[in-house]
Copies of this chain bind each other. A is one copy, B any other.
Amino acid sequence: MNDISRRGLVKLAGIGAAVATQLSATETAYGFTAGASETIAPVAPQTHKFNMTVEEARLSVSRGFETNVWAYNGQVPGPLIHVREGDFVEATVTNKTKGVHTIHWHGMWQTNSWRSDGAPGINGLAIESGGGSNTYSFKADRKGSLWYHCHVEVPNHVGVRGMWGPLIVDPADPLPIEKEVTKDCLLMFSGWNSDVADDYFAQEDPSGHLNYFSINGKSFPYNQPIRVKEGDVLRLRLFAASVAVSFHLHGHDMLVTHRDGMPVPYPQLADTVHVAMGQRADVIVHMNNPGRWPFHDHADHHLSNNGDTPGGLFGIIEYEEVGIDDPWYLWAHKKYDPDFYFTESMKKGYGLITQSGFKATPSKS
């Protein structure tokens, strides 16, 4: 949508381009920043060309539970794609599996590139099995926290086969709040069905009976903490990839600043944020209350691993100031991975960035 309709131009008279965040006095009193966004001085758009694959692999989600997945670049979640608003993307995807697949770029408009939208039998073809490939080309003219996923037999491929990953488009006009962020974390929520773990084609719709749940492919306690220090400004980008969540954080209110990647004109504080299937929500939180604080879905059924609790969609924020030394602390001996929530990857510039920690075990084929 790079041409504003004539009707739209007429309406623009008198309206500047800046988006203002309007916060109540409460939010401002709590240290959040209102004000108008500033359009960053234009940068020449880049073109990002990269190769992706779909691979058969085996993902360990929880103790005692592994499942067949179709993994973009052999990993679940798929690799981070990070670009700037206005950049171009050219992704060549090679399908090395026995199934057929696509990539749909969820939230991306595909302005004048509808054939790169990835809906098989509708705006394109599926990528043939056993080595077929397809190139998706589009302009990243839609900012924000987007994601990509397969669009073949969605209840199976997206529901329980891990075919999803994050697509982050840095806005040309970030909000003042965004510029204060000191730690950026991506959390992708999904469900799994052990009945179909060993057979890719057991059911076209295995999404009705989910018994494992994960953040970034791992059920609690096999995921990771988020480590912060007092004064940090934490941004959590929440992706309801194959389950909806009611995301609750202890010890802090969250300011919901973006929905589906778009700024919310009147953000509001919340302790529990609902993200419906396919949606994203960005929240920003002031790390001003040292402690060890759970974050988790409040939907009871998402908090177990096939009935064993605690499990599922659960994690912990650990402040440096209090540490992890209590001997009874269940993560006192956790081997820490600072990139489990893509934080390090988000600092690695633009393009396709892989995460070795998300690698699934390649299947023998």
A289 at the interface (CB under 8 A from B): yes
The residue that A251 contacts in the complex, of B110, B154, B298, with Cβ under 8 A, is B110
Interface SS of chain A: helix, strand, loop or mixed? loop
A30 at the interface (CB under 8 A from B): yes
The residue that A156 contacts in the complex, of B115, B261, B309, B316, with Cβ under 8 A, is B309
In the complex, chain B residues whose CB is within 8 Å of the CB of A110: 250-251, 289, 291
Contact: B330 with A121, CB < 8 Å?
yes
CB nearest neighbor in B for A248: B278
The residue that A286 contacts in the complex, of B5, B32, B251, with Cβ under 8 A, is B5
**Interface-facing stretch out of A54-62, A63-71, A87-95, A199-207:** A199-207
Whole-angstrom CA separation of A252 from B154 in the bound complex: 20
The residue that A1 contacts in the complex, of B151, B240, B250, B288, with Cβ under 8 A, is B288
A346 at the interface (CB under 8 A from B): no
Contact: A300 with B205, CB < 8 Å?
yes
CB nearest neighbor in B for A159: B300
A33 at the interface (CB under 8 A from B): yes
What 10 A-B pairs come out closest when comparing CB atoms?
A114-B291, A278-B298, A8-B31, A274-B276, A207-B300, A205-B304, A159-B300, A155-B300, A246-B276, A246-B277
